[in-house]
């Protein structure tokens, strides 16, 4: 029997607006036998069914999967996954000849919190961000096999970074189907080798695809710095756009080796240097030689408690860039911290510009690509913020 949770009076209003989270403070009563990962029915204070989702003890106590009284079985997941895939088909990703790496399913953005699926040339990588979603992986895999058919190479579960401290979870990093190996992919015609097993996230930062393409258009004849460069995504695009020289800076020697390999894979003409260094240390005694700087740091804040330190880190990083970029240079600066809003990020960048004394114009305001959709009813899904700045 499905467990039940009863809301406090009036707390169903957010669900009536199709928001997908129920916070602990909204709950009037729950059974003492409910465990993390259980499927629960959510009832109004008047005991009327309103939604069904996964329970997990924490500030977000229920993640809503459906507002209908329906089973969360293979048929349910086939329907949800097909809806998500049809959207990717509409935006031109499904049968693209130049791009075979994209996000298949984006959690709340595709109306099912806790599930991320990325496609690497028909090898799928799944991340479960909740215990309930982790428990349903076998059902989801069956649905994916039915949808993908013979084209499917393999499915890999990679949830160790999201669930490693949760009780009742095991086998967080394993092959779920077929074979999973390092895979060559194409993104907008550029070639990359992706290590899905050992690489960060699901193996590649897919969410910067459109922004990398914009950098390519600005890069001809330029000297480009790609800070926090990871495996060289922005660097490859800059070289593909005709940059004279590109420097990829990352604190990880392994990432630099992968960046060098990805550059070699594409055989572009410009000079590339991979530099293992701390990003902030790299700016010390830096000559003003860069025409373009890309600042794409990891999330400086993963929760509200870290917001103040994150704001200062973004200000400090951008101030260093403003102080050292060539006159007439361009800065691509990003935040992927969900708790850092567009307004907070922009204010941090504004403060850095004001302190530098440079005249700065906004050329572009950037976000995540369409395969990382923003749910209109769930604004928290808009997490990637970016500015392209012209610095006099």
**306-319 tens-digit pLDDT:** 788 888 899 999 99
Residue 15: the pLDDT is 95
Residue 160 pLDDT class (50, 70, 90 cuts): low
Q: Is 205-391 in the same CATH topology as 74-184?
A: no
Nearest by Cα to 219 from 164, 119, 120, 290: 290
The pLDDT tens digits of the residues spanning 167-208 come to: 555 677 899 999 999 999 999 999 999 999 988 889 999 999
Q: Say what the pLDDT of residue 162 is.
A: 60
CB count in 10 Å sphere of residue 245: 17
pLDDT tens column, 82-128: 999 999 999 999 989 999 999 999 999 999 999 999 999 999 999 99
The answer to whether the beta carbons of residues 314 and 353 sit under 8 Å apart is no
Q: Can you name the CATH fold of 205-391?
A: Rossmann fold (3.40.50)
Is pLDDT of 363 > 80? yes
Provide mean pLDDT across the span 292-299: 93
**pLDDT classification of 320: cutoffs 50, 70, 90:** very high
- Distance, in Å, from the CA atom of 291 to the CA atom of 331, rounded to the nearest integer, reads 9
Domain ranges of the chain: 3-66, 74-184, 205-391
- The vertex-95 CA angle with 91 and 96, nearest 5°, equals 75
Structure tokens at 259: 């960046």
User: Which fold does the domain 3-66 belong to in CATH?
Assistant: 2.30.130
For 59-81, write each residue's pLDDT tens digit: 999 999 999 999 999 999 999 99
- Report helix, strand or coil for 371: coil
Question: How far apart, in whole angstroms, are the C-alpha atoms of residue 374 and residue 42?
Answer: 24
- For the sheet containing 245-250, what is the strand order? 271-276, 245-250, 223-227, 292-295, 329-335, 385-391, 360-366
Q: Domain 74-184: which CATH class?
A: alpha beta
Residues 352-376: what's their mean pLDDT? 97
The pTM for the full model equals 0.93
């Amino acid at each position: 029997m499905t467990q039940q949770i009863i809301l406090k009076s009036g707390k169903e209003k957010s669900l009536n607006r199709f928001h997908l989270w129920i916070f602990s403070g909204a709950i009037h009563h729950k059974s003492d036998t409910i465990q993390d990962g259980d499927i629960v029915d959510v009832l109004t204070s008047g005991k009327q069914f309103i939604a069904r989702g996964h329970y997990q003890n924490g500030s977000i106590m229920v993640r809503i999967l459906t507002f209908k009284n329906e089973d969360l079985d293979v048929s349910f997941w086939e329907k949800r996954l097909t809806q998500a895939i049809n959207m990717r088909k509409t935006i031109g990703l499904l049968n693209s000849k130049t791009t075979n790496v994209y996000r298949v399913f984006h959690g709340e953005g595709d109306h099912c919190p806790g599930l991320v699926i990325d496609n690497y040339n028909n090898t799928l990588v799944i991340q479960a961000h909740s215990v309930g979603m982790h428990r349903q992986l076998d059902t989801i895999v069956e649905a994916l096999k039915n949808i993908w058919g013979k084209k499917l190479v393999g499915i890999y579960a990679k949830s160790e970074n999201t669930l490693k401290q949760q009780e009742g979870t095991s086998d967080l990093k394993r092959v779920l189907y077929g074979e999973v190996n390092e895979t060559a992919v194409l993104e907008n015609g550029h070639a990359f080798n992706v290590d899905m097993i050992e690489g960060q996230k699901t193996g590649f930062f897919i969410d910067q695809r459109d922004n990398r393409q914009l950098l390519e258009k600005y890069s001809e004849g330029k000297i480009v710095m790609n800070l926090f460069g990871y495996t060289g995504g922005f660097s490859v695009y800059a070289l593909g756009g005709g940059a004279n020289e590109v420097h990829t800076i990352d604190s990880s020697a392994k990432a630099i080796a992968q960046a060098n390999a990805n550059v070699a894979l594409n055989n572009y003409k410009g000079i590339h240097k991979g530099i293992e260094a701390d990003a902030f240390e790299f700016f010390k005694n830096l000559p003003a030689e860069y025409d373009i700087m890309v600042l794409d740091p990891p999330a400086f804040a993963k929760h509200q408690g870290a917001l103040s330190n994150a704001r200062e880190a973004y200000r400090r990083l951008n101030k260093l860039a403003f102080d050292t970029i060539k006159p007439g240079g361009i800065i691509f600066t990003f935040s992927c911290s969900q708790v850092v809003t567009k307004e907070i990020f922009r204010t941090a960048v504004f403060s850095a510009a004001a302190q530098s004394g440079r005249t700065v114009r906004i050329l572009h305001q950037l976000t995540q690509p369409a395969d990382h959709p923003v749910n209109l009813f769930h604004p928290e899904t808009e997490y990637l913020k970016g500015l392209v700045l012209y610095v006099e």
